[in-house]
Amino acid sequence: MNGREKQKQKLLILYASQTGNALDAAERIAREAERRGCPVTLLSIDCFNAGSLPYEENVIFVVSTTGQGDTPDSMKAFWKFLLQRNLSQRWLEGVHYAVFGLGDSGYQKYNFVAKKLDKRLLDLGAVAIVERGLGDDQHPSGYEGALDPWMSSLWNTLSKMNPKFFPNGIDFLIQDAHLIDPPKVQITYHDVDKVHSHFSTDSDLKCIEMQIERVRSMHPGKFSRDKNRPDCFLRMVENHSLTRAGCEKNVLHIEFEVLSSAIEYAVGDIVEVLPSQSPIAIDTFIQRCNLNPESFITVHPREMENHLPNANINDSKIPIKLKTFVELTMDVASASPRRYFFEARILFFATAEHEKERLQYFASPEGRDDLYQYNQRERRTVLEVLEDFPSVQMPFEWLVQLVPPLKKRAYSISSSQLAHPNQLHLTVNVTPWTTPFKRKRTGLCSKWLAGLDPQQGVIIPAWFIKGSLPAPPPSLPLILIGPGTGCAPFRGFVEERAIQSRSGSTAPVLFFFGCWNEDNDFLYRDFWLSHSRNGGVLSEEKGGGFCVAFSRDQPHKVYVQHKMRENSQRIWNLLCEGASIYVAGSSTKMPSDVFSCFEEIVSKENGVPRESAVRWLRALERAGRYHVEAWS
């Protein structure tokens, strides 16, 4: 028996989360292990040195899949390290691992990250403890429908591997009350008379920028390692509807003036906007939690070993108003709380017996499905949950830790900087949706933007990031598929190519657009039609075209795929000329349906079996000629 076996066995749990679900699942696995007496170290994967993986004995990976099979941002460096060619097939010899993935079977590359991580770990010599688990958002209980049986298998196998994992057996459970550890954050309250808060009153853009950076850097959430200082500020100059009044959809065209001359963006780029929360919701939350909005606070991590060092640690200690902290960092009236909010914490602070009973039921295996229905499916907000359980009084430290962080909202830019040098345009869908219990919901940011009047002069913090649609050179033929608001980035593509065509030759552009009705939601109708005539960028004279599918203007549904099949020969000709394919829009079925349509076209026009067409398209993806940007 070696030295490691003599020691008490422990688990390292590494998570890679984009929206917080993988963190929630990882915390749940950690809690269940600790309840059985097994020590756990829980880390975000970007806080772990990939080079030290061979020195770990038992590692649990909890990873989500984003977009069209992409790794979460926090995992990109770790994954790049694992792909190094100099790592041998015995590099991870002696390492035991398990993988649980979170995905959505509505996507073409369902749980792709978990699958490829599992394969790579095996290739490097690691041994799987149990078969990988795959959580599915489409399951009636969400990812937890797969997590519970997977955890049961994990505990059984670990116990058989080494009984020291669970000294009292897997059925022995420590009560949650004994596992209530201190919150991960510490809040210091400052004497108002001694605080000189320059940032709370100064409206200068630079000061607002610094305030946002300091407040968001103070928060323990995931974005504390993101870029917290805005790239620029935007001021709205135009806000009008693209859809007919009274129809089911409400899509807006919004134009902003960029309040910085140094900002550059390319077509296909994404702008992230920090939304403003409802003042009524903020005040209600503060009042419900018995907080003093005027108090000045600083927020510090209680322990530093699991946090990246903060280069501006001294700056982050500048006191900030509690109300400002809540406004800029805590999503109180939009995002649903994670399961951990219910399982131990809110239950621990409830005083009314009937509320405790209901929360205990939600935290039990029997109540799992009902909790999922009550919380995630209904998109219940933190404020609504707290109002449903009025006896709960949580300390502010726990609220800071458990309330979902206020996240930036990403939008495809629908303009070209060549066409609009100091502007940025967005296409924003503000159509409400209905929950299973028939409650109306609207996106936080889209609703806020829709309600802004350009005359108000509201300043909006913004960040620029690269998306999945690289800006094409003018010589590259394009096949664009953008139904609904998926047309947004392609408006910028067409604007840019129109300007480029004035000074030189440009390659053809073939664009497929789809909507419900010609009269109701034909977004940017005049724009597309003007560029498809008189030798425009989308005209047949230039070798391109504009094809539109109105899905509900006839008894049978007509989608972009139908229009693609009608233009099968033109698509194949452009592909033979080296065209790149760009797809943008809803992430549900559209991307996979469009890919399937391309399979048909390649198979038919090239006279090859369907399997060969799939391989041909996969080669196109690897060559960087098939791009997808999809959103839910």
Structure tokens of 481?
Answer: 């598929």
**Residues annotated in the binding site for FAD, as ranges?**
379, 409-412, 443-446, 631
Q: How far apart are CA 20 and CA 338, in angstroms?
A: 8
Give 533's Cβ-side CA count (13 Å radius).
Answer: 6
Residue 514 φ/ψ, nearest 5 degrees: -140, 150
Annotated binding site: 17-22, 64-67, 137, 379, 409-412, 443-446, 485, 551-552, 557-561, 593, 631
Q: What is the C-alpha to C-alpha distance for residues 224 and 82, in angstroms, rounded to an integer?
A: 25
Separation of alpha carbons 491 and 546, rounded Å: 12
Q: Structure tokens of 272?
A: 């992230």
The CB density around residue 259, as the number of other CB atoms within 10 Å, is 15
Residue 128: name the closest of 136, 116, 139, 119 by CA: 119
DSSP 98-142: EEEEEE-TTSTTTTHHHHHHHHHHHHTT-EESSPPEEEETTSTTT
Rounded to 5°, angle at Cα 216 from 215 and 221: 130
Contact 212, 461 (CB under 8 A): yes
Query: Is 255 in a helix, a strand, or coil?
Result: strand
Neighbours of 439 (CB within 10 A): 13
Burial 115-137 (b: 16+ CB within 10 A, else e): bbbbeebeebbbeebbebbbbbb
Q: How many residues does the chain have?
A: 632
Looking at beta carbons, which pairs linking 355-359 to residues 24 or more positions away fall under 8 Å?
355/389, 355/390, 355/391, 355/392, 358/389, 359/389
Using CA atoms, how far residue 605 sits from 454, 576, 600, in Å, is 51, 11, 8
| C-alpha span between 630 and 486 (Å, rounded) | 8
Binding residues for NADP(+): 485, 551-552, 557-561, 593
Q: Which residues are annotated as a binding site for FMN?
A: 17-22, 64-67, 137
Q: How far apart are CA 567 and CA 580, in angstroms?
A: 16
| DSSP structure string for 512-565 | EEEES-TTT--TTHHHHHHHTSTT-TTSGGGT-EEEEEETTSSSS---HHHHHH
Q: Helix axis angle, 279-288 relative to 322-329, nearest 10°?
A: 120
Residue 590's H or E segment, with its range, is helix 590-606
**What letter does residue 367 receive in the DSSP assignment?**
G
Inter-residue contact 427 to 242 (CB < 8 Å):
yes
Q: What is the chain's alpha carbon radius of gyration, rounded to the nearest angstrom? A: 26
Gap between the Cα atoms of 100 and 23, Å rounded? 12
User: Which residues does 202 contact at the CB level (< 8 Å), separation at least 6?
Assistant: 208
Distance CA(430)–CA(251), nearest Å, equals 6
